[in-house]
Structures are given as C-alpha cells and as structure tokens.
Amino acid sequence: MILTVTLNTALDLTYRVRSLRPHGSHRVSEVSERPGGKGVNVARVLSALGHEVTVTGFAGGPTGRELHDALTAVPALTDALIPVSGPTRRTIAVVDEHTGDTTRFSEPGPPITPREWSAFQEVYEDLLASASAVALCGSLPPGVPVGAYAALIRAARSRAVPVLLDTGGEPLRRGIAARPDVVKPNADELAELTGSHEPLRATQDARRRGARAVVASLGTDGLLAATSEGRWRATAPARLHGDPGGAGDSAVAGLVSGLVERLPWADRLARATALAAASALSPVAGEFDRAAYERLRTRVTVTREADAA
Amino acid sequence: MILTVTLNTALDLTYRVRSLRPHGSHRVSEVSERPGGKGVNVARVLSALGHEVTVTGFAGGPTGRELHDALTAVPALTDALIPVSGPTRRTIAVVDEHTGDTTRFSEPGPPITPREWSAFQEVYEDLLASASAVALCGSLPPGVPVGAYAALIRAARSRAVPVLLDTGGEPLRRGIAARPDVVKPNADELAELTGSHEPLRATQDARRRGARAVVASLGTDGLLAATSEGRWRATAPARLHGDPGGAGDSAVAGLVSGLVERLPWADRLARATALAAASALSPVAGEFDRAAYERLRTRVTVTREADAA
C-alpha cells in the first residue's frame, strides 16, 4: 500500500452562496463536507486511481469523529489516524455562485502534545513495514517539532521506502536536507526555499539541497522537474479555467503512483499534470473530473529542458 | 422556569481573520464555538439575568452533539432539545480584525420529518406545564409547517402561559393571528408584515393583526412598543458602536424576564433596551457586557408616544 501522512488533517466544508459581500449576511444554499488535509486529498485521488492507500496523522474532537466517519466512504482506504485531545480543524471554501470565485478560511490545527507526537512516530514506523511509498503532506500543527518531516524521511529511508515531501517553509528546508526521493514545492514554496523567482534555477538549487528529485508545480505553467535522469517541463494542452485548490495534491498522487508503478519520469509527469488539470475543474480538493483526466493524459506536453546557466 | 423554543438551533462559530479579502485564503487566528439559534441566545441571556430556563427545539448529527455539550456549560439552563436525524446547522461569523466588520454565513437547517415534528409538539406540551412564559424564536427548518408557531401559541394560550414570538415572514404572519402576548419584529420583519415603512403606524397595524403587544426593535432607534396600556419608545443614551448580531435576542430576554417579573411596560422596555445596547458591544450573540448593561439601564429614555394619525 501507499502511505500518506497528514499531520494537519481537516474537515473540509464547501459553502455555496449567491454572492459574497464583505460585512453581509449570507444564506448558504448548499453545504458539502469532505475529509481533508493535503495527504488525505492525495489518498482520495490514489484510491480513485485504484491504489490501496493508508492515511495516518491525527484526528481529535467532534470534527475528528466526522473525519473518521467520512473516510469510511472512500474505497480501498485504510484509516490509521491516531487520536489526539485537540479538535481537528475545519477549513471552509465559500464558492460565489455569481463569479465562481472561492474564498477560503482555515482554522488553526490542534496543539499536539509530545506524548501524541511520540505515539504517532511509533504507528508510522509500524506502517512503513508494509508501505511501497510514503507521501508526507502539508503543514504542521502546533506542537509538532519543525524537524518532524526530516525525522519521518530518515525513518522511511532506513527501511528503503521511497518518500515524497510536499510542504513549505522551515519544515521543507529541514526536510529536504534529510534527502527525500521527491519534493513537490509550488512556486511560492520554491522561491521561499531558494530565494530565487526563476523556477528552472530554483528547481536545480532545491535539488542540490538534498532531494533526489524536485518537481515544482507552477499553476497554469505546469510542472518543472529536476531529476537524476534529467530535467522536464510538463504542461496541459490549454489553460483550464477552474479553481487550483486541489491541483497540487492531485499532482502528488500522480507522482507517487507513477513512482510505485516504476513509470519513466516523462510518464509520471504526464499523469501528474493531467490529474492536476482535471482537479482544477473540480471545486473540491481530492476529487478530479475523470473524463477530463482521460482526455488530458495523452495530450500533456512533456519536453526536456536544458540546464540553467 | 422560562421556556425558549428554537426550532432552528445552530452551532455558532466565530472566526477572527486579519483582513477579509474576497477570493483570498485566510488563516483563522482564533476560533470560538457557542450554542446558537435565537431562542438559545435568549436562554443564555436569561440565565445570565438569574432566571431558570429550559431550551427546546431540535438537535442532530455531530454538530447537534457539540450543541448539547456546549449547553452543559450554561448555568441554570435545562437542555430539552429533542433528537433529529439531520445535522444541526452551523453559522459562521467572520470578524475582520482590521475593520471590525463581521461577515456572516448561515447553513440551512436540517430537514425535519413529520414524526420529528409530532415528537417535538408532545415534549413542548409537557414543558408548558411548568413554564411561567415561553419565547418562540427564529426561523423554521425545512419540513416544519409554516403554521408551526400559530399551533405552539394556541397550545400555550390554552394553558394560560404567556407567549412571545420573535420571527419573520409567513411564520410571523400566521403566528400573530393566533394572538401571542408579545411579538418582537425588527424593522424589516415589521415592514414585510404590514407593508408600511413608517414604524409607528406599522407597529399599531401589527397589533391589530392579533398580538396583545408589539415591540419593534429598530436598531439604534431603540424599541417602539404598542400595548394595551399605551405606546412607548425606548432609546439608549448614545448610539453605541458595535455589532447588532445578538441585540434582538437580548431584547427578547429583557421583555420576557420583565413579563414574568410583572414589571410595568416602561421598565420592561428600559431593561430590554439596555440589554440590547450592551449586547451590541459583545461580538457574540447571547452574551452582553454586564458593566455596560448596569450603566445603561438607568440611562435609557422611555417616552410615551401619541397614536399615529
């Protein structure tokens, strides 16, 4: 199975309103609730692609119970979230029916105690024994040490389980030094890590910091990859209108599934790009338009890139 | 005890964000959760005033469990909410820390089945036996008949329990014809009921439709009352800055507590006006600034009004 780690899980709510007016009162015409947090979204896409997947991380409080309940509905998914005393956070995406725009609110994550963090690490070690790959995804809740991902990467590497890291800021900086197999920063995370706003240069720089491969997700500019086998840029055939909320998570699912299936890099990138583009057509992270995905996957352009000067 | 009925209870969340930007992503710096729905807010104010209070209505799903949990923390309050299969709605108030403005989102209420509505009516009849007054507050969730408040008013009147109605639209129109002791519309509800935007005339017209007394809450213009003993206008000493979210609910608590304490109308109106003004200073419905209340209650101006021409 593929293991995804979501230390900052969430209950994701989507509200539809007629038109968002700051300082106004809005009747929500439609509410949907889904299990969330980046690694949970990745797991849902992996499940839809036909992979066995296990999710771990933390869940607590009434919102944590709702998260557990919602995960039972996902096929081929094993829920290995561990209990914590603080409540799982909510995120709210408010979709303006008039403009189609989405406004997002994210609650802070629950504080994690040292005992809870230790309990998680034990569960994680056990799960690694049967994992074909692990994806470490998203932000850290309060109380989890900033070097958490570095420790989890070292544990995976010591068991020869390939590991992908998708986070930002200091957790990315610390994590990348522990030599993950793949990191997938977005443009902002890449620039913050390297200090460079030139993606090709920044991707190579990030790779020199310890990752075996760096795949930067650049929104409508597609994916830019720096690997031991070379550099590629992958782009969808047209700029698709839509909301990019879950595109990065779907790209991660494409990369990690391609990794365990031992696809060549160009095919992994084509899959990840098509999934990301098809996800941008869905208003909900962790879901994608399957017809669009099937249509797009043969039409993604993957080109070799020369080294940056 | 005083009975408050909230057919459309809610779990009220308050989010603080640095600055609300439509189409932006916001980290919520602080989350607070409180039991909500208009009758629940009225009950919390009554509890703070030292009255024994019982809340009834519906609660369901994970949010309903949270509502029950939150009610256990309110002193002198008995939770007589009855279980329903649909989930209790959430409301979200997003407070912009920069401007102080509040933007509100209200989920739709859970659908109520005919069996659940019948079960509620039985519980309500039982509770009336020990009630000194009843306040019927707020909107109706889907499935509850539009004449619900009229039926509940008739049941209270047949047991000689005084009844206050605070709602709008067709439920108000039907309810007022069942001859409640007091109705408390706001300016919009009063105009919709009577077709008149002239408050004095509209208040008298509303009274002719069946209410023994009409107390219109007019925001910073205070309260306007038409009763069998005469007409009054009550205003706070200064226009207070603040959010009027819970002011109407606090006014209802002032009116119903004054009713059971057999205060003269002028004193009831002074209390209700001071509570409403003190509540506008609190960002959360169902709570008020007690020091401001004590300061304001002797400084409210209550004047007799002549009949409208």
Dist. CA A133–CA A53, nearest whole Å = 10
Are the beta carbons of B136 and B153 closer than 8 angstroms?
A: yes
Residue A309: pLDDT above 60?
no
Q: What is the mean pLDDT of chain B?
A: 94
Q: How many CB pairs under 8 A join A and B?
A: 79
Nearest CA in chain A to B63: A62
Residue that is written with structure tokens 């406004």 in the block:
A103
**Residue A99: its chain B contacts at CB < 8 A?**
23
DSSP one-letter code for A85: S
Answer whether A264 touches B (CB < 8 Å).
no
Order across the sheet with A133-137: list the strands: A77-83, A53-59, A2-6, A133-137, A163-166, A182-183, A213-217, A223-227, A230-235, A301-304
- The whole-angstrom distance between B96's CA and the closest CA on chain A is 9
Report the range of poorest mean pLDDT among A212-216, B11-15, B236-240, B247-251: B236-240
Q: What pLDDT, in 10s, does the model give residues B92-126?
A: 999 999 998 899 999 999 999 999 999 999 999 99
**A246-279: pLDDT as tens digits:** 889 999 999 999 999 999 999 999 999 999 999 8
What pLDDT does B245 receive? 67
Examine the pLDDT at B238 and tell me if it is beyond 70: yes
Residue (of B200, B142, B131, B196) closest to B171 by Cα position = B142
Q: What is the mean pLDDT of residues A2-8?
A: 98
- Tell me: the pLDDT tens digits for A118-175? 999 999 999 999 999 999 999 999 999 999 999 999 999 999 999 999 999 999 999 9
Task: Provide Rg for chain B, Cα atoms.
Answer: 19
Answer whether A139's CB lies under 8 Å from A109's CB.
yes
State residue A285's pLDDT score: 73
Which residues does chain B have within 8 Å of residue A11's beta carbon, measured at their own beta carbons?
none
Nearest residue, CB atoms, B105 vs list A23, A26, A108: A26
Q: How far is B240 from chain A (nearest CA, A)?
A: 18
| Residue A113 CB neighbour total at 10 angstroms | 13
Asked if B244 has any chain A CB less than 8 Å from its own CB, the reply is: no
> Exposed, middle or buried, A241 (CB in 10 Å: 0-12/13-18/19+)?
exposed
Tokens matching residue B161: 């329990």
The catalytic position among B249, B267, B289, B307 is B249
Report d(CA A172, CA A167) in Å as an integer: 6
pLDDT over 90 for what percent of chain A?
88
Whole-angstrom CA distances from A301 to A13, A292, B137, B156 are 34, 16, 60, 73
Q: Which amino acid is at A134?
A: V
Find the residue in B nearest to A96 (Cα): B23
**B70 vs A: CB within 8 A:** no
**Over 90: is that where the pLDDT of B285 sits?**
no
pLDDT of amino acid B241: 59
Q: With an 8 Å Cβ cutoff, are A23 and B108 in contact?
A: no
Assess whether pLDDT exceeds 90 at residue A243. Answer: no
A23 to B63: CB separation less than 8 angstroms, yes or no: no
- Average pLDDT score over residue span B32-58: 96
State chain A's mean pLDDT as an integer.
94
What's the pLDDT at B308? 57
The residues of A annotated with a catalytic role in the active site are: 249
How far is Cα of residue B239 from the mean position of the Cα atoms in its chain?
A: 21
Please determine, for residue A286, whether its predicted confidence score (pLDDT) is greater than 90. no
Chain A residue closest to B61 (CA)? A66
Place of tokens 């300061």: B295
Average pLDDT score over residue span A88-101? 94
When comparing pLDDT for A283 and B21, which is higher?
Answer: B21
User: From the list B26, B104, B106, which residue is nearest A106 (CB)?
Assistant: B26
Q: How confident is the model at residue A37 (pLDDT cuts 50, 70, 90)?
A: very high
Q: What's the pLDDT score for residue B237?
A: 85
Question: Residue A103: which of B22, B28, B62 has the nearest Cβ?
Answer: B22
Chain A neighbors of B20, CB-CB under 8 A = 22
Do the Cβ atoms of B10 and B88 come closer than 8 Å?
yes
Domains detected in chain A: 2-9+36-88+111-304 (3.40.1190.20)
B32 and chain A: CB distance < 8 Å anywhere?
A: no
The secondary structure of residue B186, as a DSSP letter, is B
Give A 141-180 residues with CB within 8 A of chain B. Answer: none
pLDDT grade, residue B243 (50/70/90)? Answer: low
Q: What pLDDT is stored for residue A287 in this prediction?
A: 84
Q: Does B188 touch chain A (CB under 8 A)?
A: no
Cβ distance B103 to A29 less than 8 Å, yes or no, reads: no
First to last CA, chain B: 41
Q: Indicate yes or no: CB of A29 within 8 angstroms of CB of B108.
A: yes
pLDDT of residue B305: 84
What is the chain B residue with the closest CA to A24?
B103
CB contact A26 to B (< 8 Å): yes
- The pLDDT assigned to B220 comes to 84
Single out the residue of B245, B246, B258 nearest to residue B302, CA to CA.
B258
- The ipTM of this complex is 0.86
**pLDDT computed for residue B16 by the predictor:** 95
Does the annotation mark B243 as catalytic?
no
Angle B87-B138-B120 (CA atoms, 0-180°, nearest 5)? Answer: 55
Strands A182-183 and A213-217: parallel
State residue B100's pLDDT score: 86
